[in-house]
Amino acid sequence: MLAMPLTRPTSEFAAVQPLCPHCGRPMSLNRTEPRPGGLPDLCVFKCGECAVWLSESAAERRAV
């Protein structure tokens, strides 16, 4: 059985970091997840300081 990765490389979105809504520090991109039906990938960010997670579509990230 072949295993397919559930995430994609994150280098495309690494330059844009949202600020944590809790502490205001820059969040790091943890992973991107593909979505079915032609929808944009989902970017998942994490704050290393307070462990808050944030998810946004890749289309929203490009618009910033």
Show the CA angle centred on residue 52, arms to residues 40 and 59, nearest 5°: 15
CA-closest candidate to residue 55, choices 9, 24, 47, 36: 47
61/30 Cα distance (integer angstroms): 14
Distances, alpha carbon 46 to alpha carbons 21, 37, 39, in Å: 11, 26, 22
- How much is the pLDDT for 60? 67
> Are residues 13 and 61 in contact, defined by beta-carbon separation less than 8 angstroms?
yes
Q: 2-57, pLDDT tens digit by residue? A: 554 555 555 554 457 899 999 999 999 999 999 999 899 999 999 999 999 999 88
Domain ranges of the chain: 28-63
